[in-house]
Every structure is written in C-alpha cells, then in structure tokens.
Amino acid sequence: MADRRQLWEDLGMDLESHDQLCAVLPIAFGDVFLSQENRPEGMAFYDMVVSDIHGIRPSELVEAQKEGQKVFGTFCVYVPDEVVIAADGIVTGLCGGSQFWVPAGEEVLPKSMCPLIKASVGARLGKTCPFFRIADIYIGETTCDGKKKAWEILGEDVPMYVMEMPQMKRPEDIERWKKEISALAQKVEETTGNKITPEALNEAIHIINEKRKALLRVYEARKAKNLPISGMDALLVMQIAFFDDPVRCAHMANELADELEQRIKDGVSVFPEGTKRILVTGTPMAIPNWKLHHIIETSGGAVVCEESCTGTRYIENLVDEDATALDDQYEALARRYMGVNCACFTPNPGRIDDIVRLAKEYDVDGVIDVHLKFCTLYDTEAYSVQNALKEAGIPCLEIETDYTDGDAEQLRTRIEAFIEVLE
Amino acid sequence: MLFDTHTDAMAALTLFRQAGIQARVSPTPHGTNLRPGCGVALLLDPADMQRAQETVKTNGACVAGIVCLPSRINPRRDQFC
C-alpha cells in the first residue's frame, strides 16, 4: 500500500514482518467471509474496515493526535470508555487475536500463557500492529495473573496505567471499583490535559449507551427463527466495535439492524432451515480470531449468540444516565461495569445464570463452551457451566483451543459430531 | 478492482449496487503488480466487468486498476490469520 507504508514507517513499525501479516489477511478473509451466501448489504462497511484494518482507523487516530487528542489502548470490557471520552480522549481496543503475534510475545512471556496475552505483547514488541504503536498510553487491569505480569513488561516500553479489579462482587467491592474509576479519571485528565465535567461525562455515558443499544439490536435480530445474519458477521461487527469511533459504530450498527429487521419480516435467512443454533460462551475472540465461529458455521451450525467479552458482556446493561454529579456518575459506571460477569470473579453465579438465560432467549440447540489454552479461570469455570447446562437439559461441548491452525481438523470433527447429535 | 482510497471503493460499490452489478468488498489481494493507495478492493465476476467499467466511466468514478485473478476462496482451507 503506497501511502499506508509511510504511515506505518512513521509509527516505527517493522514493515518487512508486517508485510507477512498483510499477505495472510486477504486469503483468510476470503475463506471466512466471502464464502458466505446472501450476506446483509450492511456488512460492506465492516468488510471495508477489515480490508484496510491497519490503514483507515489508524490514519484517523494519527490525525486526531495531530489535533491534540490522546489515544488510550485498552484490553478489557471492565475499563470504562466513558471516562476517556469525557476528557476528549479516544479509546482503542488492543487485544491481539492473531497467531502471527504470538512468537514475539513468547520471547518475553512463558509459552504456557494464553495466546491473547502473548499476541497482545507480541504485537507491541514486534512492532507489527499500528494500533499498538499509536496509543499514547495503555490502560490495563488485574483481571488475571497473566495480564498483571504482562503489564509490567509492556510498561517498560509504553506508558501503562493499571486498574485494580476487585475479585468479588460485594457492596464494598463495587465501592472499590468506583474509586478505581475515579482514579482513572484523574489519570485521563492528566494525560489529556482536559477536565472531566459532569456534563461531558453524561454525554460520554450517553454515547456509549447508544452504541450498546445499537449493537444489542443486531443481537436481538439473531433471536429470530430465520437468521438474518451469520455468527461470523455478527462477531466481526463486535470485533470492530472495540476500535471504531463509538458514534459511527452506533450509526452503522443501527443501519445494519434496520436491514436485519427487514430481513426477518421478509423471511430471509442466511442458513438453511434446520441449521442447529449454537450459543458460544467463554473467552473473548479478538480480531482476527475467526477460527471457531468459522468451523462451527461450516460444520452445520449457526452461532446465534456469544456470551463473552466480544459478545453480550460488552453490550448488555446500560449505565444510568440520570446522575448529574461526578461522584454519582462514577457510582453509576461502577454498578454497570461490576454487573459484567467474568470468570475472574468468585463466586460467579451471574455468568452461569446468563448462559442459561441466553440459551433460552436465543432458543439454542446446544452450547459450545470455549476457552483459550492456559486460561485457568474459564477452564475451571467450565465445571459449573456444564453442570448448570446439564441441569437445564441443554447439550454442551467444551473446547480448548488457541490461535494456531493445527487443531482445526480435530475441532471440525468434534463439532460436526456434536451438531449431529443435537435434537 | 483496486482503489487509491476506501472512499473511492465504497463510492464505486454504491454505483454498482444501483446498476445491479454484484460486487463484494475485499482486502486488496497480494501479489498484484499494481500498488494502490488503500487496502480495499472490490471483487467482481469477470462476466460483469464490461458493465462495471462502463458504469465507472459514465459516473467518473476513481479506479486505480483492474486485475484478473482466479478465485482462491476455500472455506475448508482452515488457515486463519
């Protein structure tokens, strides 16, 4: 790419290695997305974003930086975007979803660490992702041991701020998270040079709520008997939501939802009648991790919902917009974010309840509980998930995988067998 | 069909849709001799190419180049990024 190369060079990227990543994208994208039939027209926007994923949005961010805005890189759905936006900052998700970045991560991290963390560290240290180069500061959190140690290593290379995540959900824990949000606000003010006012925070809360509502409309459409959109496409929408401008994200998701709702009225489905409906639960699928969804949807299944950080955890529940003082707004934010049910909490019955509820709401035939290799939290919680699903009479398949292609055939065999036996 | 900007690509897509020509947004394939300014390309059926070119010409759309490539899409390849 002619002018993109200048952008990447200016960001100090390793262009030779980056070219190798760019060479793989068109093939994988073609196999996963362009092989689908009858996709919604609204997906063209998302296809465009992915097609030039290291060009379009990075260029916008660099231009914004020239105008004085600061870019905050985040790795978790507990970090409140609202606080950054209230100070005229920009949030970009930084989780790595490609095996390409893993070897560079393994140069400084143990191999026995989850691929998401290894890829995230590798993307920064390997200098092969513009988003990791652009961010002025990274906001980490203590949601797992691997991340905590990774922040220390990343902190040697880039400004790093870490929020301490409570591990329980007692009232005092919600109060602690409120204090963490307030402390983050101070850091954001210091970084941007802008004061966070109640008015600005209220506007930011509204912006992110509107984004959630728009994405939830896309999810609602997936409850229809005739599925107007594939799980692959819905996942792509969610993955892009993490780094797109939030107002544009809401606008494009609403346009897509309009089309999906019309498709439901017209009885348009992207899957043949009788395709088994699958809920995927577990660890997040950061872009460009399309592996499991693609295998499921080319093995006789349709993914109708994701109970994950790249799914319902990101968009369910809104922040109360009625508060007018900063202290009350921080509390409203703490209450909403502490309502997210991640396996990092103990006990964590909320997630189990969510899975069973979503399985019913989306009328699923089966659940696939997936966790990335070496993610002890989700691996261990699989025990409770499976017991609850068994009690509810919902078939469940547990899968452990990573970003490599090596287990694809084995996964396909297991998933095809699972789908075959679903009633 | 290759483009220098993503806005050119999306403008051409709109024109093709209006003309009833099937086109899909795709990353620009690697290995072409042309080096367009952006990573967004449109995939068209060769049978539609003449009509597409006429549409581009009639509407003054900006296109960086056209390359003819065999389809490499294989959903069972199971090779990911």
Q: Smallest CA–CA separation between A252 and chain B, in Å?
A: 14
Phi, psi dihedrals of residue B44, rounded to the nearest 5°: -130, 155
How many residues would you count in chain B?
A: 81
Please give the Cα distance from A65 to A86 (Å, whole number): 16
Question: Contacts of residue B35 in chain A, CB cutoff 8 Å?
Answer: 1-2
Residues A211-263: pLDDT tens digits?
Answer: 999 999 999 999 999 999 999 999 999 999 999 999 999 999 999 999 999 99
Stated as kind and residue range, the H or E segment containing A257 is helix A246-266
Cβ–Cβ below 8 Å for A288 and B81 = yes
Give residue A252's pLDDT.
98
B81 pLDDT band, cuts 50/70/90, is confident
Cβ–Cβ below 8 Å for B79 and A412 = no
Give residue A391's pLDDT.
98
Task: Give one DSSP letter per residue of A79-144, joined into a string.
Answer: S-HHHHHHTT-EEEE-----GGGHHHHHTTS-SSS-HHHHHHHHHHHTT--HHHHH-SEEEEE-SS
Mean pLDDT, chain A, as a whole number?
97
A423 pLDDT band, cuts 50/70/90, is confident
Q: Smallest CA–CA separation between A115 and chain B, in Å?
A: 13
**Site of tokens 């991640």:** A342
Per DSSP, B46 falls in state G
Question: Contacts of residue A412 in chain B, CB cutoff 8 Å?
Answer: 78
CA distances from A342 to A200, A212, B8 (A): 29, 18, 42
Cβ–Cβ below 8 Å for A26 and B27 = yes
Task: Say whether residue B8 is in contact with chain A using an 8 A CB cutoff.
Answer: no
Nearest CA in chain A to B41: A51
In contact, A405 and B77? CB cutoff 8 Å:
no
Task: Say whether residue B1 is in contact with chain A using an 8 A CB cutoff.
Answer: no
ipTM over 0.85: yes
Mean per-residue pLDDT, A369-377: 97
CA distances from A52 to A112, A218, A359, A393, B27 (A): 32, 23, 35, 44, 7
Please give the Cα distance from B2 to B26 (Å, whole number): 10
Phi, psi dihedrals of residue A259, rounded to the nearest 5°: -65, -40
Flag whether pLDDT at A2 surpasses 70.
no
Task: Say whether residue B73 is in contact with chain A using an 8 A CB cutoff.
Answer: yes
In single-letter form, the type of residue at position A101 comes to W
Question: Contacts of residue B65 in chain A, CB cutoff 8 Å?
Answer: none
Q: Smallest CA–CA separation between B68 and chain A, in Å?
A: 15
In contact, A130 and A54? CB cutoff 8 Å:
yes
Residues A165-217: pLDDT tens digits?
Answer: 999 999 999 999 999 999 999 999 999 999 999 999 999 999 999 999 999 99
Choose the mutation target among A31, A32, A36, A294 for the interface with B, i.e. most B CBs under 10 Å.
Answer: A31
Strands A137-141 and A90-93: unpaired
In Å, the largest CA–CA distance within chain A is: 59
In Å, the largest CA–CA distance within chain B is: 41
Q: Which among B37, B40, B79 has CB closest to A27?
A: B79
Task: Say whether residue B81 is in contact with chain A using an 8 A CB cutoff.
Answer: yes
- Tokens for A299? 């093995």
Q: What is the pTM of this model?
A: 0.97
Give residue B61's pLDDT.
96
Give residue B33's pLDDT.
66
- End-to-end CA separation in angstroms for chain A: 50
